[in-house]
Structure 1
């Protein structure tokens, strides 16, 4: 039962704030010659006007490449989730053979209910979500634990990711492989609206002989 609720929770959280950059508007690829002209002789709409309409609809439907924008309230069976802030323009981080991209850092406030609330033993959660994309650029086997990142906040909290909510990002990289996942950090003494910046710290990658292959990562993301 607990495992089932856990799976539901992770699915809800990730689905709520997932990127939709690969999605296309439903009519974005429709050829303009599919537009029918009425038989009463009305003038055909100029092609450039159709292009402008399509561009406007595409911009509206996928602003910034995300399904949900800051300020949106998403409601489902798990409760009500408010996306308080998001930063998705984050410099790529490199250490040794590791390239780390952070697709987004966001702060969310949630009123949860039902099985979700029972699992979390509360009806309110405030959390930070970080989406990691990790690449080993070498052919060697190395170890790098993005999933064991520590964060600190401007509100004075130091947090580890919640093991129940977060994706498992395996730390062993056998050659040139890529891995990704979302990490969730439950705020203990802060509100999502109070978070102005998040400092992210991750230990350096190392080889089979426990030799460090780069520097520890330590960078700050501001909202």
Structure 2
């Protein structure tokens, strides 16, 4: 009888120790998961901070403008500048240079008209004495025909000849738009030159 009781107690003790061992394993696993989560969060934060430090652009989120001509709606959402923008020299070599970027949305709000507009061929004038045309290679395609209900969105890039993008206090943009009567009635043709001046500082 004593042997049975002793055997029972040994089995009970083994079961208890096994249960404790599982608890220890579970606690250890939980601690490992917490440590891993903290490490991942730290890595994510470090990557975000590094991305901000590596960002070569200065953002002017308040440099916005909205305007309409006929059925065309233009929306400048922000302006960015950099003196370390990537580009190409005349020989096709990669260089670092000064540039201005303009984020724009163009919308044809009509239901039956086709317009032509050319903001991606705009001329930029700056407070630092620059007058340059948009770079059509690096700019998004916002120009040409825009049919009824169509929305185009993208960036217009201007490379500066004299640099000093970070010193710019204001910019002026001009671009053209037109409408041709589909029936060939020239009296209904229309043309517009849009001019926008934006303060950056």
Normalized against structure 2, the TM-score is what? 0.63
Whole-Å Cα distance in 2 between the matches of residues 86 and 108 of structure 1? Answer: 11
- Pick from 31, 34, 53 the counterpart of residue 73 of structure 1: 53
Whole-Å Cα distance in 2 between the matches of residues 127 and 96 of structure 1? Answer: 31
Larger helix share, 1 or 2: 2
> Which structure has the greater CA radius of gyration?
2
Is contact 1:197-1:220 (8 Å) kept?
yes
Structure 1 119/178 Cα, relative in aligned 2: closer, same or farther at 3 Å? farther
Query: SS of the counterpart of 1:73?
Result: helix
Quote the offset at 1:89 in angstroms.
4.5
Structure 1 120/105 Cα, relative in aligned 2: closer, same or farther at 3 Å? farther
Whole-Å Cα distance in 1 between the matches of residues 144 and 162 of structure 2? Answer: 30
Query: SS of the counterpart of 1:92?
Result: strand
Whole-Å Cα distance in 2 between the matches of residues 117 and 85 of structure 1? Answer: 25
CA RMSD across the alignment: 2.9
CA deviations over 1:107-133 (Å, ceiling 9, x no partner): 1121659xx789853532110001110
Quote the offset at 1:103 in angstroms.
1.4
- Pick from 79, 90, 93 the counterpart of residue 121 of structure 1: 93
Larger strand share, 1 or 2: 2
Normalized against structure 1, the TM-score is what? 0.57
Query: SS of the counterpart of 2:166?
Result: helix
Is contact 1:87-1:222 (8 Å) kept?
no
Whole-Å Cα distance in 1 between the matches of residues 151 and 98 of structure 2? Answer: 30
Q: Residue 64 of structure 2 aligns with which residue?
A: 90
Structure 1, gaps ≥5 residues long: 1-60, 62-66, 75-80
- Pick from 65, 74, 77 the counterpart of residue 103 of structure 1: 77
Q: Residue 205 of structure 1 aligns with which residue?
A: 178
Structure 2, gaps ≥5 residues long: 1-44
Q: Residue 107 of structure 2 aligns with which residue?
A: 135
Whole-Å Cα distance in 2 between the matches of residues 220 and 165 of structure 1? Answer: 22
Quote the offset at 1:176 in angstroms.
1.8
Whole-Å Cα distance in 2 between the matches of residues 100 and 188 of structure 1? Answer: 27
Quote the offset at 1:205 in angstroms.
2.8
Is contact 1:95-1:205 (8 Å) kept?
no
Structure 1 218/112 Cα, relative in aligned 2: closer, same or farther at 3 Å? closer
Q: Number of paired residues?
A: 147
